[in-house]
Structure 1
Amino acid sequence: MTTALAWDTYSQQRPSRRPVNARGEATWFNWTQHQDHGPGDELLHLSADGRVLDIGCGKGGNAAHLAAAGARTVGVDISPAQLAAARERWGHLPQLALHQADALDYLADDCGVFDAIYSVFGVAWFTDPARLLPAVRARLAPGGMFAFSHRPPVEGCYGCQASYIPRGADEDPLVVRRWDYTPQTWVEKLEAAGFSEVSAQVLAAPEGNRRVGTLLVTGHA
């Protein structure tokens, strides 16, 4: 499958999460692409034993943090390479279950109900929201939280865009699709899908950092 190959290739290009963060913690939650920056797992409003789903969990760092804190955590990713790295580092956590699957297929299966579903630079960026938002909404408990983050759009470049994942010097890059919208458009899309208390904002990059910020969207079922 081309999509799995693309994310396997991406996995090889990305370093593993650091052993500890700036505070000396072995696990932590990070919504942004910048180290030690931005809010944490408090955005999910999870109870001590809440059930949570990470769609596009990658190498599992965020999911591992929630599992280590006691949440019943499920991570789903289409990439065997990403999941192999996640299992090698975090597979000892009893509260963490990892599954290789397309996120839409997993949500359509009998996966139960979750108190929170989230995506950090993952499935919510790379799946048509017309299909994903109703699927997520159907799997959330009443009042449950959906939250996702990714890079904000380039001005004027909205809707389905192409992301290129480089390969070897003599190989064409692999292409995956992503969906970019303004914060206001995301609010409208989530509200149209039945979410309430929707918020969308761009978190500025850390002071002195010239890179772009992070788009963060939340909504309740």
Structure 2
Amino acid sequence: MTRVTTADLWHHYGRTRAERDHAVPDSFRWTWSQQDGPGPEVLGDLTGKTLADLGAGTARHAAYLAVHHAPGRIDAVDASPAQYDMATGLYADLAPRLRLVHADVVAHLRVNPGAYDVLYSHFGAVDFTDPREVIPAAACGLRPGGRLVFSTLAHYLSGKPAQPDVTAAEVEAKTPGGESATMYRWVLQEHVWAKLLEQAGFTGIRAAELPAGDGPRSAVTLLVTAEFTAS
């Protein structure tokens, strides 16, 4: 396989659904199966708040929150041109409450210090960006007292245990032209995430394992929440 770093490795992801399903979802669940478990209440009261979905993909979760939870604004941030284009085709009409942002998540947070009350990643950028970069960037982007919430894999889809240190795994992907490629995903044990969060200035760190649903590629979800307090 050829190692490719372009964000267009997400070109094919979600495309079939985007072509046939333009509706705003009627639910938001944190589990890998997205069928049960806790929902948006984990984010707290969002009324009038400024949020960002980190690695929003086609912005389905962001669209749900924009329609059903009355945030002041939610930025759906994704580096993939293909995902941004699909999100625009699906939900551009939800502006200005939903703002679609084509940008690298780390760079976006760094140039918008203290811009957000809540940041979240639903198996998104926190999974696919070096956590030694994205977690400090999240701390930069949050206001004092802000909250970071993310769902990630508690173990690999193969069943292999999560990593005991900050080690990435290569996962298969495809270029827009269909050629095989690889990208990185971080599947880490709970204590590793906790240490990274503490080092970035987060407190009140809580993690919970959510059971796997049915299906051949089901997986246990690790749901992590943390608060940011400026030093």
TM-score (norm 2): 0.83
Equivalent residue letter for 1:118:
Y
Which one of the candidate residues 150, 153, 156 is aligned to 2:152? 150
Q: In the alignment, does 2:66 pair up with 1:67?
A: yes
Q: Which has the higher contact order (CA 8 A, sep 6+)?
A: 2
**Partner residue, 1:195:** 202
Which one of the candidate residues 8, 13, 17 is aligned to 1:10? 13
1: CA distance between counterparts of 2:112 and 2:151? 26
**Partner residue, 1:136:** 138
1: CA distance between counterparts of 2:135 and 2:175? 31
1:113-147 deviations in whole A, cap 9, x for unaligned? 11100111111011111111111011111221101
Give unmatched runs, 5+ long, in structure 2. Answer: none
**Partner residue, 2:87:** 86
Change (3 A) 1:111 1:15: farther
RMSD value over aligned CA atoms?
Answer: 2.5
2: CA distance between counterparts of 1:172 and 1:110? 36
Equivalent residue letter for 1:7:
W
Query: Do the aligned partners of 2:52 and 2:75 also contact (CA within 8 Å) in 1?
Result: yes
1:159-180 deviations in whole A, cap 9, x for unaligned? 1111111469x96522111222
Query: Runs of at least 4 residues of structure 1 off by over 4 A?
Result: 17-20
Equivalent residue letter for 2:191:
Q
Change (3 A) 1:181 1:174: same
**For structure 1, which segment, 121-130 or 29-38, has the greater mean C-alpha deviation from structure 2 after superposition?**
29-38
1: CA distance between counterparts of 2:57 and 2:178? 24
Which one of the candidate residues 203, 208, 226 is aligned to 1:219? 226
TM-score (norm 1): 0.86
Change (3 A) 1:19 1:63: same
Equivalent residue letter for 1:70:
A
Aligned residue for 2:94, secondary structure, equals coil
1:89-118 deviations in whole A, cap 9, x for unaligned? 211113000011111111121365111001
Aligned residue for 2:32, secondary structure, equals coil
